[in-house]
Structure 1
Amino acid sequence: MKLKTILPILLCWACVATACGKESPTEAPVVTPEVPGKGDVTIYVTTNSRSLDFAKKTASFNNKPSMSPSIITLDPTKRYQTMDGFGAAITGSTCFNLLKMAQADRTKFLKETFSETEGMGQSYIRIAIGCSDFSLSEYTCCDTKGIENFALQNEENEYVIPILKEILAINPNLKIIGSPWTPPRWMKVNNLTDLQPYNSWTSGQLNPKYYQDYGTYFVKWIQAMAANGINVDAVTPQNEPLNRGNSASLFMGWEEQKAFVRDALGPKLVAAGLDTKIYVFDHNYNYDNMADQNDYPIKIYDDAAAAKFITGAAFHNYGGDKAELLDVYNKRPDKELIFTETSIGTWNDGHNLTKRLMDDMEEVALGTINNWCKAVIVWNLMLDSERGPNRDGGCQTCYGAVDIDRSDYKTITRNSHYYIVGHLSSVVKPGATRIGTSGFTASGITYTAFENTDGTYAFVLLNNTNESKAIVLNDGTNNFSYDVPAKAVVSYQWKK
């Protein structure tokens, strides 16, 4: 049969199927059948039931303008932030689990995750400077007093660096941000009044007399990673600076961080000829309910001598609301925003994809981007089926973006955070610009549009409703339609 004969039949079938609404619970949601054609648009679809599990689809441009009431029109004249990328944290625990896998299995997973041609193309990762609460031990890279004793340790040399090299071989364009959980203990004091030595991994404050040494510590770490072929794009001065309770931690209020960046870290990076970016804060939207720490990054920016070294601020979502991102942006639109950590776990029903895919896509992925974030990074890429390895005093209730079965180190369960990052990274490439849209809106429908640097458009949409939605996208030249299943995330990419 000729295409002209087939097309009306298929379209009729789609209408009948949608109208009947007699899906079996085990069947895939009704999706517009793929008509033989050019496949102008590449589409990835995930439903919260996994009936469609990052399924690759195509659609073709319509021959005529659409009169559908659910048209969304892209407006590339409205331009917002450029995107740096999307990914997860490559912790010591993640690397331990990956190295337990057979080489062929690990390579397959890493390609599926990071390859720009054979996988999701995840493009931005976070690593710890020294240990984190998902390390194999507590340590820093200078545990013997004296900055001349700096050296990468076993966790970097045997776990993190080998995995990073494998990932970079797959995606050499990967961006990396580093964050310390604690400085060397010999740099810590109990408080800034008594200045008594504080020989503990947990809490304490940075002794101002060691600001210069600690700035050198960052420089040495960046240079040591570079010597191993690993370029660090950015750092934060301290992970969760208002959290005293983590297994490795340091309290660093905004006044301390301002002084450290202004007087030590910033000048040390410049003196070393490093263009490594600095993102301040790296903690929760609500500033851990500490009134004197509200607007933490803004207070640092108000010091011009500090602000000149700072690219922007990083945020987590363990407290408060993403609206804080917009507030910070509006106060200092010249500074960037990135999102650097969120986790799923036992406390938020983290293995329940039915709930988490919807909530995490709305709040974390699209929610942060639509409030000016240039990057979205979730917590551990991979934990095992016992939520580890982890450290006493750290998070022992976290799940990874994926979990690997500890009984075989082969069977992988993909959780919501893997999907939300993948739905962004698969179509939105580093350097893309978020652009405007107009037209169809509805409760439960969240989306954002992008223009990539390679001459393509990207569009990511969440349908958090109980019915499929016949969405039409129009870029001003071409338009196409696709029935978005109920409770689904859909990513689109097409050439202009």
Structure 2
Amino acid sequence: MTDEEPVGPMMARGVGDQACDSSREEFRSEQEAQAPDARASGCWHQYHIKRNAGILVMLMACLGVLSSRKAAGPPPDADLMPRAALRAMQAQSSQDASHEIEVWQSALHTGDRLAPKAPGWFVPDFEYQGIELEVTDVAGQVIEGFGGAFTEASGLVFRKLTPAQQSTFLKDYFSSEGLGYVMGRTHINSCDFSVSSYSFDDVAGDVDLEKFDTTLDRDMKALIPLILAAQAVVRAEGRELKMLASPWSPPSWMKNLAFNPAAGMDHSGSPCLKADMHGVWARYISKWVTSYKAHKIPIWAVTVQNEPENNATWEACLWTAAEEAAFVGQHLGPVLKEEHPEVEVFGFDHNKDHVLAYGRTLLQDGAASKYLSGIAYHWYAGDGFDQLKQLKAEFPKAKMLPSEATWEAYRWTPGTKLSQGDWHFGEGYAHDIIGDLNSGAIAWMDWNLILNETGGPNHVNNVCDAAMQVNFSRGEVYRHPQFYYIGHFSKFFLPGSVHLTSYTRKSPTYQGPPRPYGTCTGQDGLEATAGRTPTGQVVVVVLNCGDTDLEFKLKYAVSAQKFVIPAHAIQTYRFDADAKMSM
């Protein structure tokens, strides 16, 4: 990425605090030009309005249609109705207030970044020939939350921020004013986003783990302080930070290094572990969990191995599905059940192109399946949503956990400015989140929370983009587009929300061959997912990766309204679950 004058330094504006740029005259002239079309759309002569609602509902409905046609600008009442009169009419009917549809938007070519927009209002359903998005009350999986990864790299970058920047970072990610993250992932021993390889017991042959560093001295330097700081923000709002832990590699002395005695923790033989080290490695993982608990960081779940099919140039450990099933059933599962029965275990933790075959082997294994909560997976092989749906259909009780996504350097667009990031990166994330949630996912987790200007530090130069990056030479922190795109989900799908089935009709869907991860274009049409929060609100997220605006009808039960989503934009709609108009 190249450098430039900052477009959006982190300290400049809060999340969603966006100014409206359009003038009154531009707004008035556009609305006047569109008014005949709005009347013809059904607002004036297709809806049957009950007598007791009368003109009020009709006016509110028209405001909803008109406001949906303007991507940015002042609220519709600014020119269409005196504010005092509008407030008086709103106060007259609590029924109409329950029909309000709140709207937030992030859109390319605008200043909208998680920006609240003028609301719409439901009216009775109507005939419509265009794209229709119907949200049902058919409930699916519970959504446990969203989050990102606490790596040593992120900890070191965070440590170098000013106190004010640290405070803003924590608020932006972990408070309800920001993205509302309630989940995190971290590494057991080092990973590529460490500044060097390390473990907590480098004494060869210490099978009783007497030399295990329970002080976690290495992680105490940067990683643990970051986790504790985030945990404090989450707990201040009455929530818990659910931590997922994944090993990249055991200590080198546990590994089969016959292929290369000098490899250390990097790379992997096959099998990875020495034959007599399976029990030792299982107890090592449990001891790591114990040590983190002693540092006031409870672990919600572990994955058996990060990317078990990847013989990487950094820390790695290869496992076939059968080998992993045996390890869970005979070693890791029993140890954790005895010492940490509250800790959940997820298998696989690799790409979706193999999730069905690998997941089947694990979940069909009688011994392993007793200890597995579900299957974790990454996005690096593309969509794979059909495999997720099939696996969920075969094992409906298994939790589906998207545990890692990022944009690697080879996918960066030349000339992208550090202060802006790549808009398509946000679109790719949203495309993946929507597909995963619609395929049964209980959460969604980004990779590094924050990185430096080069996409590191990383001890093997496997640099990546991040939702937040720092330009230390200028003392500035930037939010990249994926930050806002994630927020359209994480701020609104509160922990404990349930997924709702939705249907998109008369919109194209991609039917071609597999594409590189994060690919989202106009061929994907209107994409959407929905859920119901614990407080009884329905949340709908709509994505348009195409080059043209899309008009669509949002339908819920017997209520509906028309909206427009701009090109290269994402919108979140929220309304009360009882916002169903009687006919």
CA contact (8 A) 1:41 1:58 kept: no
Distance change >3 Å, CA 16–CA 56, structure 1 → 2: same
**Where in structure 2 are the equivalents of 1:4-403 lying within 5 Å?**
13-14=30-31, 16=33, 30-31=71-72, 34-36=75-77, 40-49=100-109, 51-62=111-122, 65=125, 67-69=127-129, 70-76=131-137, 78-116=138-176, 118-145=177-204, 146=206, 147-151=209-213, 152-172=215-235, 173-190=240-257, 199-204=264-269, 205-287=272-354, 295-322=357-384, 323-349=386-412, 351=416, 353-362=422-431, 364-392=432-460, 395-396=462-463, 398-403=464-469
Looking at structure 2, the residues matched to 361 and 52 of structure 1 have their Cα atoms a distance apart, in angstroms, of 16
How far residue 315 of structure 1 moved from its aligned partner, in angstroms, is 1.0
In structure 2, runs of 5+ residues without a counterpart are 1-25, 38-68, 78-86, 91-96, 509-524, 578-583
CA contact (8 A) 2:150 2:185 kept: yes
* SS of corresponding position for 1:82: strand
Q: What is aligned with 2:83?
A: none
Looking at structure 2, the residues matched to 320 and 463 of structure 1 have their Cα atoms a distance apart, in angstroms, of 19
Matched, 1:442 2:502: no
* SS of corresponding position for 1:295: helix
Letter paired with 2:172:
E
Per mean C-alpha deviation after superposition, the further-off stretch among 56-65 and 130-139 is: 56-65
* SS of corresponding position for 2:314: coil
Q: What is the root-mean-square deviation of aligned Cα atoms in Å? A: 2.9
* SS of corresponding position for 1:209: coil
Q: Find the structure with the greater CA-based Rg.
A: 2
How far residue 198 of structure 1 moved from its aligned partner, in angstroms, is 7.0
How far residue 249 of structure 1 moved from its aligned partner, in angstroms, is 1.0
Looking at structure 2, the residues matched to 457 and 19 of structure 1 have their Cα atoms a distance apart, in angstroms, of 31
How far residue 87 of structure 1 moved from its aligned partner, in angstroms, is 1.8
How far residue 44 of structure 1 moved from its aligned partner, in angstroms, is 2.3
Letter paired with 2:296:
G
Cα shift readout 1:370-421 (whole Å, capped 9, x = no counterpart):
22221111211111111111112x513x1112211121443314142x2332
How far residue 196 of structure 1 moved from its aligned partner, in angstroms, is 8.7
How far residue 67 of structure 1 moved from its aligned partner, in angstroms, is 4.9
Looking at structure 2, the residues matched to 43 and 148 of structure 1 have their Cα atoms a distance apart, in angstroms, of 57
How far residue 144 of structure 1 moved from its aligned partner, in angstroms, is 2.2
Q: What is aligned with 2:533?
A: 452
Letter paired with 2:359:
P
Letter paired with 1:16:
A
* SS of corresponding position for 1:281: strand
Letter paired with 1:127:
T
Looking at structure 2, the residues matched to 49 and 19 of structure 1 have their Cα atoms a distance apart, in angstroms, of 27
Letter paired with 2:171:
K
CA contact (8 A) 2:448 2:466 kept: yes
Q: What is aligned with 2:518?
A: none
CA contact (8 A) 2:422 2:480 kept: no
How far residue 177 of structure 1 moved from its aligned partner, in angstroms, is 0.6
How far residue 81 of structure 1 moved from its aligned partner, in angstroms, is 1.6
Looking at structure 2, the residues matched to 199 and 10 of structure 1 have their Cα atoms a distance apart, in angstroms, of 64
Q: What is the TM-score when the length of structure 1 is the normalising length? A: 0.86
Letter paired with 1:74:
V
Looking at structure 1, the residues matched to 275 and 485 of structure 2 have their Cα atoms a distance apart, in angstroms, of 41
* SS of corresponding position for 2:194: coil
Cα shift readout 1:185-227 (whole Å, capped 9, x = no counterpart):
1111136xx9999744332311231222211112121122122
Cα shift readout 1:43-102 (whole Å, capped 9, x = no counterpart):
3211134531221234142465555555533211x2222112112211111111111111
CA contact (8 A) 1:31 1:484 kept: no
Letter paired with 2:429:
D
Looking at structure 2, the residues matched to 255 and 59 of structure 1 have their Cα atoms a distance apart, in angstroms, of 53
Looking at structure 2, the residues matched to 48 and 268 of structure 1 have their Cα atoms a distance apart, in angstroms, of 51
Q: How many residues align?
A: 468
Per mean C-alpha deviation after superposition, the further-off stretch among 33-42 and 177-186 is: 33-42
How far residue 29 of structure 1 moved from its aligned partner, in angstroms, is 7.0
Distance change >3 Å, CA 411–CA 202, structure 1 → 2: same
CA contact (8 A) 1:92 1:155 kept: no
Q: What is the TM-score when the length of structure 2 is the normalising length? A: 0.74
CA contact (8 A) 1:360 1:420 kept: yes
In structure 1, runs of 5+ residues without a counterpart are 1-8, 21-27, 288-292
CA contact (8 A) 1:134 1:388 kept: yes
Looking at structure 1, the residues matched to 120 and 245 of structure 2 have their Cα atoms a distance apart, in angstroms, of 42
Per mean C-alpha deviation after superposition, the further-off stretch among 483-492 and 177-186 is: 483-492
CA contact (8 A) 1:14 1:33 kept: no
Looking at structure 2, the residues matched to 313 and 439 of structure 1 have their Cα atoms a distance apart, in angstroms, of 28
How far residue 158 of structure 1 moved from its aligned partner, in angstroms, is 1.9
Q: What is aligned with 2:42?
A: none
Q: What is aligned with 1:468?
A: 549
Letter paired with 2:147:
G
* SS of corresponding position for 1:433: strand
Looking at structure 2, the residues matched to 464 and 68 of structure 1 have their Cα atoms a distance apart, in angstroms, of 23
Letter paired with 2:187:
A
